[in-house]
Amino acid sequence: MAQARIGIVIRTKDRPLFVARALRCVLTQTCRDWSVVLVNDGGDTSVLQRAIAADDLTAPFADGRMRVLTHAQSVGRSEAFNRAAAMLDTEFVCCLDDDDTWEPEFLERLVAFHDATRSLAP
Report how far residue 115's alpha carbon sits from residue 92's, in angstroms, rounded to the nearest whole number: 12
- DSSP E strand stretches across 33-91: 34-41, 66-71
Task: Convert the pLDDT of each residue in 40-78 to its tens digit.
Answer: 999 999 999 988 887 677 777 788 889 999 999 999 999
Residue-range domains of the chain with CATH: 6-117 (3.90.550.10)
Q: Does residue 110 surpass a pLDDT of 60?
A: yes
Residue 104: its pLDDT value, please?
A: 98
Mean pLDDT of 12-18: 94
The mean pLDDT of 91-109, rounded to a whole number, is 97
CB half-sphere exposure, 69, CA atoms < 13 A = 21
